[in-house]
Chains A and B, each alone.
Chain A
């Protein structure tokens, strides 16, 4: 009887261990193992058509963020969590004037905004007022502002036009003499191309000491045959040599990441450490208490020792610290909310890699859970 029981136990044990790895493999298979891809893509005409954007541009970044995920899902249906896409698209930034308002700054306005002399005296003051007065202003709103301005010892009343583009900009308007100086017979242009070109030349004479990056928003009158003349806005930037009209169609890039369900806007930069990175982290940490042995091991082997309990062991917290030091060195100007996916060599008895996602929060790099 005892023999029989033993036999049964033995036979039972035999069968349960016929495929010893079955449970582990089932577990492995139950975990999604997505295909991870990375692409840089520039939308082409057909893509805008497919998205129903007949002008071949997006009206805003928000619209791009809303529509591009669907496009990515359709284009890369087999890619899953962790995939990334850099999508370049055309954004239409309208420079047309949507509304025009005239306003004269009141004494109350000055008082409310703390201009105790009852006037403005610097360039930013008008923006302050406009933001106060028109908090809901949208792109294309134009205000003809009349205000008191103190300069060179006297206060004068001036009227200037301001337009809301990406922010409030003072408009450079042209008088009759200006148009004449720009080779026109009347106080207007009759051709847009000529206007853009001539203004760019004229700006050089207006601002002979312009620096690279300077910008100015111009407005000119366009003669329209058989209808009212139009006022056209053209922003210019100075590239160090010449003034260039800023196109209203801007090439823009957004990064998207796949979160397992869908594509979402994501600024993560994926980065694989190179040997100089280990050398740098090792040198920065070799004399920091608690890091001496791990940092020296890193300097020797160019990896993180991940054997728990070992004297050179790097815990996740320690790696986070090291990555922060490295990112501050490699990308010191990164803005808050910038994310990095760092892939680094480790040794855990075998040479392999691990990855850590970090985000800059309040100027400090922390693990992005």
Chain B
């Protein structure tokens, strides 16, 4: 069949060629600018005609023009179209396409995006095209689930509650940067993905740098760095309108429009999406609106300004409380079961929910000072407001014995808020005994990140800069629903004893966490022929201050603490050597010290028990890598070993005068080592196979036995034992495999099948709780396999280039535990777990113009 159609095709060409005389043959090879590798599937069209071809698997094309004197238009999504005038038969040679996004190159420098076969770190990069194909209704971090070293889950399953562990490290040890701006929480280092709901729609690329990473600024890159580059501005005018629907009432729609680079030097892109749904898990209804604005202006030859603002305002019901497996099994909902919601006056009401809005605003300035020197500066601000909802007062929300509770409708049923309302109403002037509240975690964060990049010699580049941040975290509890009562009485505010509170009031606690950050960094890069190398040094001073408006009288000087300074630094280096055009090897090594988090300094939420000598955490990491690149196969192998020493561990005791004091325990260490393999194989131009294997060996390193804690009078207070030696690190699958196939089943139609396997997942536990000798490893969660299916189809409809996309995740509806907390005796019967989602689907259409 193939031969027949091919022959037919040629026959038609032959027929055509006999009638047309004035024609010529144009050949060439299309090339990707980043990898310098051939770019297949690029459209090559003779301008003003419908005469066109696509470049083949090797990037090669041959176009027979209808006129001798013609203009060839070379175009590809995400790249600038090129128009090339031709005359007669000609070989255009390599045609390097340029990114269509304005300012993307510059932002990639600020963000320290790693370059293949040059930057000596292990990386995986996912571009917007693939994000679009893979996302569906998944959480943003889940896009990375087929990447080595990654364990990503939906956690409780609420919208935006996803999480990602890298090489077994939790989010506070994984640096996340958006356009080069670090976004880990300034106080505890955590990353809240719900802050970034909708970011996937405006992401240009997402790069996971495992291990030390390529970041020049000091970031907590113990597990790795996730480097997200948002879209900037399209140089060409256009846009898109898209919508998708999915399981459990999922509906998303939105639009993007770019003005293109106008004559006055301005270019703007705006994008907005709205997403609503009921959630796969019971009681996880959500609403979100995400937006993105980018305005860029070229000022003269040498200056470029870009203003970016993006954010998402969202509210979603959560599954906060994990349950026993036997509990899920006893419920009607099974893996969708959630205890944390109910009905009030006929409306779904969440006992646990989350709402947040964090606009991230930045102004980028790029200045080509000379041919050899550039200065890139980002001035940014973000304002977070929101928090997590829960209850206070009398707990009426338990599941009861065997699912029977006076406050639930039916066995393991939803919460009967009406009964609670009735009881609160009956209390009259005594006020509510049970209310809903939100633990607010607002913040204001301003930062400046400036990078000077100068070419010292032809082979050596010096990069240096500053990283300044100032942050104020505002923590308080807010009454959100009195549940029928007249008020809520609470005595926590010493400045307002016997207070009564109404909806919107701050109560229970109210304090500020202030963090100032002063960082400098410098990096030398050497690159000549097949060798590239770098050394990098950075240091940062973190200052903490705490203000407590409730625990201390306004007249009490203790209401506001002094500043406490902590110094951290990082030194790393590495080299890559390209053995041949196919083979490269690299190595990197680094050491850094990370200051303790805010809670490691201000222990016990007060201004007296301060730990001014909180110990730095120390990380030593080294890595070897090998890469193979050819037209059909690219593959990587990495070996790594990361020692994480002196995990923040504090012990609080009471001094003889009754005050609390803190001792720092050193020596809680972990070693994460492993091997990672990944490949992409294109046997034909219709089929692309990808695969990954990641074998980790992540364990706590040593026991702490008989560590003696002394008070100020040098009296022995306590002897601490921690038995953790050789225990597996929990909360992330240490063994993962992935296999994927993307096959063009017919023209413009691709079928994608992905397989993921997770094993050696141990339940999460706190090593500080392991005081019993001989206790076993945490419960090992059963291994599980998931299959995902995708189908995409592109077609033209009038002026639109339409893409239809269907996805089904977990097609076999496998029931599995994705997250577990270890319980007594470390068995399946005591572990508190979240189930992963069963089969989910989405179908979407996007019209590009």
* A residues neighboring B (CB under 8 Å): 10, 13-14, 16-21, 23-25, 27-28, 36, 272, 275, 301-303, 306-311, 343, 345, 348-353, 355
A309/B321 in contact, CB under 8 A: no
Which residues of B lie under 8 Å from residue A27 when comparing CB positions? 828-829
Q: Known: A17-B782, A21-B815. Is A308-B824 also a contact (CB below 8 A)? A: yes
* 7 tightest Cβ-Cβ pairs between the two chains A and B: A309-B769, A20-B782, A20-B784, A350-B321, A17-B783, A17-B785, A20-B816
Which residues of A lie under 8 Å from residue B828 when comparing CB positions? 24, 27
Which residues of B lie under 8 Å from residue A28 when comparing CB positions? 325-326, 329, 829
Q: Known: A16-B783, A23-B782. Is A352-B824 also a contact (CB below 8 A)? A: no
Seed contacts A20-B814, A302-B395; 5 additional CB < 8 Å A-B pairs: A10-B737, A309-B770, A309-B771, A311-B652, A353-B401
Interface size on B, residues (CB 8 A): 43
Interface string of B735-776 (1 = CB under 8 A from A): 001010000000000000001010100000010111100000
Q: Known: A13-B737, A28-B326, A307-B769. Is A352-B782 also a contact (CB below 8 A)? A: no
Which residues of B lie under 8 Å from residue A303 when comparing CB positions? 395
B768/A309 in contact, CB under 8 A: yes
Q: In the complex, A326 Cα to B82 Cα: how many Å?
A: 83
Which residues of B lie under 8 Å from residue A349 when comparing CB positions? 321-322, 821, 832
Which residues of B lie under 8 Å from residue A311 when comparing CB positions? 652
Near A by CB (< 8 A), chain B positions 326-381 give: 326-327, 329, 339
Determine whether B33 belongs to the interface, using a CB cutoff of 8 Å to chain A.
Answer: no
Q: Known: A14-B757, A309-B770. Is A348-B823 also a contact (CB below 8 A)? A: yes
Which residues of B lie under 8 Å from residue A10 when comparing CB positions? 737, 739, 757
Determine whether B795 belongs to the interface, using a CB cutoff of 8 Å to chain A.
Answer: no
* B residues neighboring A (CB under 8 Å): 321-327, 329, 339, 394-395, 397-402, 652, 737, 739, 755, 757, 759, 766, 768-771, 782-785, 812, 814-817, 821, 823-824, 828-829, 832
B394/A302 in contact, CB under 8 A: yes
A24/B782 in contact, CB under 8 A: yes
A17/B815 in contact, CB under 8 A: no
B398/A13 in contact, CB under 8 A: no
Which residues of B lie under 8 Å from residue A272 when comparing CB positions? 401
Which residues of A lie under 8 Å from residue B323 when comparing CB positions? 350, 352
Which residues of A lie under 8 Å from residue B339 when comparing CB positions? 350
Closest chain A residue to B786 by CB distance? A17
Q: Kindly provide the distance from the CB of A310 to the nearest chain B CB, expressed in whole angstroms.
A: 6
Q: Known: A28-B329, A350-B832, A352-B399. Is A17-B394 also a contact (CB below 8 A)? A: no
Q: Kindly provide the distance from the CB of A336 to the nearest chain B CB, expressed in whole angstroms.
A: 27
A309/B766 in contact, CB under 8 A: yes
What are 6 A-B pairs with beta-carbon distances under 8 A? A14-B785, A19-B815, A303-B395, A349-B322, A353-B398, A355-B401
Q: Kindly provide the distance from the CB of B677 to the nearest chain A CB, expressed in whole angstroms.
A: 10
Which residues of B lie under 8 Å from residue A353 when comparing CB positions? 398-401
Q: Kindly provide the distance from the CB of A246 to the nearest chain B CB, expressed in whole angstroms.
A: 41
Which residues of A lie under 8 Å from residue B402 when comparing CB positions? 36
Q: Kindly provide the distance from the CB of B689 to the nearest chain A CB, expressed in whole angstroms.
A: 13
The listed residue with most A CB atoms (<10 A of its CB), out of B324, B399, B785, B814, is: B785
- Residue among B399, B401, B759 making CB contact with A17, cutoff 8 Å: B759
Q: In the complex, A301 Cα to B394 Cα: how many Å?
A: 8
Q: Known: A309-B768, A309-B771, A349-B832. Is A25-B394 also a contact (CB below 8 A)? A: no
Q: In the complex, A23 Cα to B757 Cα: how many Å?
A: 18
Q: In the complex, A21 Cα to B755 Cα: how many Å?
A: 19
Which residues of B lie under 8 Å from residue A352 when comparing CB positions? 323-324, 327, 398-399
Q: In the complex, A10 Cα to B759 Cα: how many Å?
A: 12
Which residues of A lie under 8 Å from residue B757 when comparing CB positions? 10, 13-14, 17
Q: Kindly provide the distance from the CB of A226 to the nearest chain B CB, expressed in whole angstroms.
A: 65
Q: In the complex, A355 Cα to B402 Cα: how many Å?
A: 11
B321/A351 in contact, CB under 8 A: yes
Which residues of A lie under 8 Å from residue B824 when comparing CB positions? 306, 308
Q: In the complex, A338 Cα to B399 Cα: how many Å?
A: 28
Q: Known: A301-B395, A302-B394, A349-B832. Is A25-B769 also a contact (CB below 8 A)? A: no
Closest chain A residue to B764 by CB distance? A349
Q: In the complex, A19 Cα to B768 Cα: how many Å?
A: 34
A18/B400 in contact, CB under 8 A: no
Q: In the complex, A302 Cα to B394 Cα: how many Å?
A: 8
B782/A21 in contact, CB under 8 A: yes
The listed residue with most B CB atoms (<10 A of its CB), out of A20, A310, A355, is: A20
Q: Kindly provide the distance from the CB of A71 to the nearest chain B CB, expressed in whole angstroms.
A: 26
B783/A13 in contact, CB under 8 A: yes
Q: In the complex, A275 Cα to B652 Cα: how many Å?
A: 29
Q: In the complex, A302 Cα to B400 Cα: how many Å?
A: 14
Q: Kindly provide the distance from the CB of A296 to the nearest chain B CB, expressed in whole angstroms.
A: 12
Q: In the complex, A355 Cα to B757 Cα: how many Å?
A: 39
Q: Known: A275-B394, A308-B769. Is A14-B755 also a contact (CB below 8 A)? A: yes
Which residues of A lie under 8 Å from residue B783 when comparing CB positions? 13, 16-17, 20
- Residue among B325, B400, B652 making CB contact with A24, cutoff 8 Å: B325
Q: In the complex, A302 Cα to B823 Cα: how many Å?
A: 21
Which residues of A lie under 8 Å from residue B823 when comparing CB positions? 348
Q: In the complex, A275 Cα to B393 Cα: how many Å?
A: 11
- Residue among B325, B397, B755, B759 making CB contact with A351, cutoff 8 Å: B397
Which residues of B lie under 8 Å from residue A36 when comparing CB positions? 402
Which residues of A lie under 8 Å from residue B769 when comparing CB positions? 307-310
Which residues of A lie under 8 Å from residue B817 when comparing CB positions? 20-21
B812/A18 in contact, CB under 8 A: yes
Which residues of B lie under 8 Å from residue A350 when comparing CB positions? 321-323, 339, 832
Q: In the complex, A307 Cα to B832 Cα: how many Å?
A: 11
Q: In the complex, A24 Cα to B835 Cα: how many Å?
A: 14
Q: Known: A13-B783, A18-B785. Is A348-B397 also a contact (CB below 8 A)? A: no
Q: In the complex, A262 Cα to B321 Cα: how many Å?
A: 37
- Residue among A13, A25, A301, A306 making CB contact with B759, cutoff 8 Å: A13
B821/A13 in contact, CB under 8 A: no
Q: Kindly provide the distance from the CB of A341 to the nearest chain B CB, expressed in whole angstroms.
A: 10
- Residue among A16, A19, A309 making CB contact with B814, cutoff 8 Å: A19
Q: Known: A307-B769, A309-B771, A351-B321. Is A25-B814 also a contact (CB below 8 A)? A: no
Q: In the complex, A94 Cα to B816 Cα: how many Å?
A: 67
Which residues of A lie under 8 Å from residue B321 when comparing CB positions? 349-351
Which residues of A lie under 8 Å from residue B766 when comparing CB positions? 309
Which residues of B lie under 8 Å from residue A19 when comparing CB positions? 814-815
B737/A351 in contact, CB under 8 A: no
Which residues of B lie under 8 Å from residue A21 when comparing CB positions? 325, 782, 815-817
Closest chain B residue to A275 by CB distance? B394
Which residues of A lie under 8 Å from residue B398 when comparing CB positions? 345, 351-353
Q: In the complex, A27 Cα to B829 Cα: how many Å?
A: 9
Closest chain A residue to B783 by CB distance? A17
Q: In the complex, A199 Cα to B739 Cα: how many Å?
A: 98
A345/B329 in contact, CB under 8 A: no
Closest chain B residue to A23 by CB distance? B782
Q: In the complex, A76 Cα to B680 Cα: how many Å?
A: 65
Which residues of B lie under 8 Å from residue A351 when comparing CB positions? 321, 395, 397-399
Closest chain A residue to B767 by CB distance? A309
Q: Kindly provide the distance from the CB of A240 to the nearest chain B CB, expressed in whole angstroms.
A: 38
Which residues of B lie under 8 Å from residue A345 when comparing CB positions? 395, 398
Which residues of B lie under 8 Å from residue A25 when comparing CB positions? 329
Closest chain A residue to B759 by CB distance? A13
Q: In the complex, A17 Cα to B816 Cα: how many Å?
A: 9
B737/A348 in contact, CB under 8 A: no
Q: In the complex, A219 Cα to B34 Cα: how many Å?
A: 115
Which residues of A lie under 8 Å from residue B739 when comparing CB positions? 10
Closest chain B residue to A306 by CB distance? B824
Q: In the complex, A256 Cα to B821 Cα: how many Å?
A: 39
Which residues of A lie under 8 Å from residue B812 when comparing CB positions? 18
Which residues of A lie under 8 Å from residue B782 when comparing CB positions? 17, 20-21, 23-24
Closest chain A residue to B399 by CB distance? A352
Which residues of B lie under 8 Å from residue A308 when comparing CB positions? 769, 824
Which residues of A lie under 8 Å from residue B821 when comparing CB positions? 349
Q: In the complex, A351 Cα to B816 Cα: how many Å?
A: 22
A343/B771 in contact, CB under 8 A: no
